[in-house]
Amino acid sequence: MKRHSAVTRIWHWINLACVVILFMSGLNIANAHNRLYWGSSGFEEGTEWLAYSDFPDWALIPGSYNLAAARDWHLLMAWPFAFGLLAFLVLSLVNRHAQRDLTTRPREWRWSNIREDIVQHLKLNFEHGDAKYNFLQKVTYGVVVFVILPLLIVTGLMMSPAMSASLEVFLHLLGGRQSARSIHFICAFALLGFLVLHVALVILAGPIGQIRDMITGGRLEAER
């Protein structure tokens, strides 16, 4: 059996390309108004929960402030990002990747198990026997694919005035358009945090083997 299914591998790399372009064009869009608010409306200085200075040019797509071009990129890449995630989630339910690897069992939530997992991570010991993912991996990947990525899509859609008119219930659940914008921003940076941690752990676990397996599929340890 392959370590990563073809569905997981294809989606992983498409999603990486989408996330990089969406994040960098998103920072360019974020530079158009440097304050974040809660609620439906927000524009006045002093009513924000966060004010930030401009993101630097090297982090932007395109490489300097250009709201129109950044929106072109952002709104284009939103399609493969959203429909790619949808396809991945559906196919992962079908091939049971979601049930098997991305959800936890009640017994895994015991403190002794969690503590052991943390200790092994701190010791940089990444062997975890016959289980594909350990507890911390399951929780992290689960939160990313079931919470952060879907929230990015829904909050993105709800910033659209036409979409929020057609599907107002979602805007209501999110607490208004400025709340949607704030949650979009928070999720984007949570995803950046995940990316940094993910890449760091791949490097510590042996980047060549890890990246090779995510391209070719690799083999599960037990069968080697």
Nearer to another protein, 139 or 156 (CB): 156
**Out of 56, 106, 129, 161, which residue is the one contacting another protein (CB under 8 A)?**
161
CB-wise, 66 or 140, nearer to another protein?
A: 66
82: closest CA among 163, 145, 170, 153?
Answer: 153
Q: How far apart are CA 84 and CA 15, in angstroms?
A: 7
Q: Pick from 18, 19, 27, 30: which binds another protein (CB under 8 A)?
A: 30
Largest separation between any pair of C-alpha atoms in the chain: 62
Binding residue for another protein (CB under 8 A) from 107, 162, 208, 223?
162
Q: Is 79 in the site for another protein (CB under 8 A)?
A: yes
* Alpha helices, DSSP H, located in 135-175: 135-143, 149-158, 161-166, 168-174
Looking at the Cβ atoms of 41 and 99, the one nearer to another protein is 41
C-alpha separations of 97 from 24, 85, 221 in Å: 30, 14, 17
Contact region for another protein (CB under 8 A) — 28-36, 108-116, 190-198, 205-213? 28-36
Residues 6+ apart with CB under 8 A from 109: 135
Contact status: 43 vs another protein (CB under 8 A): yes
Q: Does 21 bind another protein (CB under 8 A)?
A: yes
Interaction with another protein in 172-191: which residues (CB under 8 A)?
177-178, 181
